[in-house]
Amino acid sequence: MRTAVVVFPGANCEHDVVYALESLGGEAELVWHRETDLSGFDGVVLPGGFAHGDYLRAGAIARFSPVMSEVARMAAEGAPVLGICNGFQILCEAGLLPGALIANRDLLFICRPVELEVVDADTILTRGMTEGERVTIPLNSYEGAWVDPSNSGRVALRYVGDPNGSQRRAAAIADATGAVAGIMPHPERAVDKLLGGEDGRALLRAYLRSPAAA
């Protein structure tokens, strides 16, 4: 499993993602957002941060980066596409996931571990897990409340509790195929006991297994 980890101006979690994937036996390579060919990769991750300073709206400029045409192509071909935090926002802005991310209900930046529950065990984030299984990983966001007027989003993980007012308590959603997913909390920051926990490993391991499962 060879993953392109896209670097946008203002991204700040790309090295965390590379470290996490490699610690699980995957291969990962940083790719600048102006890249126009991802044919050498099996999957792609859009990491967290503040792409283009989050001007206009979070992800609103990044969705026009040249690499996004390749991300869309890979998604259409069924390759695993994962957006984490800011990457989740970008996937929604690009129309690869339904809905949008808006300011948290209390208009506060949230920075703390949160507990999540598996709702759908057939997505690139949850395969190999069981419905009802719980994990705890860090949440770090301001525009982290997912809303979907069409109510068409496929919730993969939901918050235990309601930290940010996200519709249906959604912490992670997927497209109809389950191959494109976005998650607001950070699984890549929960892969080592020394850093506070390893629950993120199950989610990223599911991502790495996804090509074979597909």
Listed in order, strand segments (DSSP E) in 67-133 are: 81-84, 100-102, 110-118
Full-model pTM: 0.96
* H helical segments located in the chain: 14-23, 67-76, 86-93, 200-213
Q: Sketch out the chain's domains with CATH numbers.
A: 2-213 (3.40.50.880)
Residue 188 designated active-site: yes
Q: Which of 85, 92, 93, 143 is catalytic?
A: 85
Q: Which of 13, 52, 70, 186 is catalytic?
A: 186
Residue 85 designated active-site: yes
pLDDT by residue for the chain (214 residues), tens only, comes to 999 999 999 999 999 999 999 999 999 999 999 999 999 999 999 999 999 999 889 999 999 999 999 999 999 999 999 999 999 999 999 999 999 999 999 999 999 999 999 999 999 999 999 999 999 999 999 999 999 999 988 999 999 999 999 999 999 999 999 999 999 999 999 999 998 899 999 999 999 998 754 4
Q: How many CB atoms lie within 10 A of CB 60?
A: 17
* Among the listed residues 180, 169, 205, the one whose alpha carbon sits nearest the alpha carbon of residue 90: 180
Q: How many CB atoms lie within 10 A of CB 134?
A: 12
